[in-house]
Amino acid sequence: MTVSDKVRHTAAAAFLTGTIITLFVNPVAPEALLTFAVIGVVSGVLLAVPAELAGWIAGALLLFGTEWMQSVLVRRGLVFPWYAPVLIAAAFAVFVYYVAQLMKPRSRSVSA
C-alpha cells in the first residue's frame, strides 16, 4: 500500500465519520435519508465500474441528482440542512466504492 493509498483511506474514513456525526447532530427525515442513500449507492456502484463513462455518469448523478431530489423533497414539505443531500449521497458513494474495492479479486503476484 502506497502513501497516497493510506492518505485516501484516511480521508475517506474521516469523511464517513464526519457524516455520521453530522447526521446525529442534525438528523434528517428517514425519507430524505433513504432517497439520498440510494443516489449514493448507485453512484458508488458506477464508480467501481472500470469504465471512464461510468465515472462521469456517477459524478453527474451526485451533482444533479441530489439537487433535483432535494427540490422535490422540499416541495413536499421536508426540511433539512442545505448540505445534507450531497453529504449523505457522497458518503454512501464512498462507502459502496470501498466495499466494491474490497470485494474485487486480487491477482496473485508470481515470484520468479
pLDDT tens digits, 38-95: 999 999 999 999 889 999 999 999 999 999 999 999 999 998 888 999 999 999 999 9
pTM: 0.85
Structural domains counted in the chain: 1
Find all residues with CB under 8 Å of 67, minimum gap 6, and list them: 85
Are residues 63 and 36 in contact, defined by beta-carbon separation less than 8 angstroms? no
What domain range includes position 84? 3-103
Residue 106 has what pLDDT? Answer: 74
Residue 45 forms part of a structural domain: yes
Any domain includes 110? no
> Is residue 84 assigned to a domain?
yes
Q: Is residue 70 part of a domain?
A: yes
Q: Is residue 69 part of a domain?
A: yes
DSSP 96: H
- Which of 3-7, 13-17, 22-26, 55-59 is predicted with the least confidence, judged by mean pLDDT? 3-7
Q: Is residue 108 part of a domain?
A: no
Residue 22 has pLDDT above 80, yes or no: yes
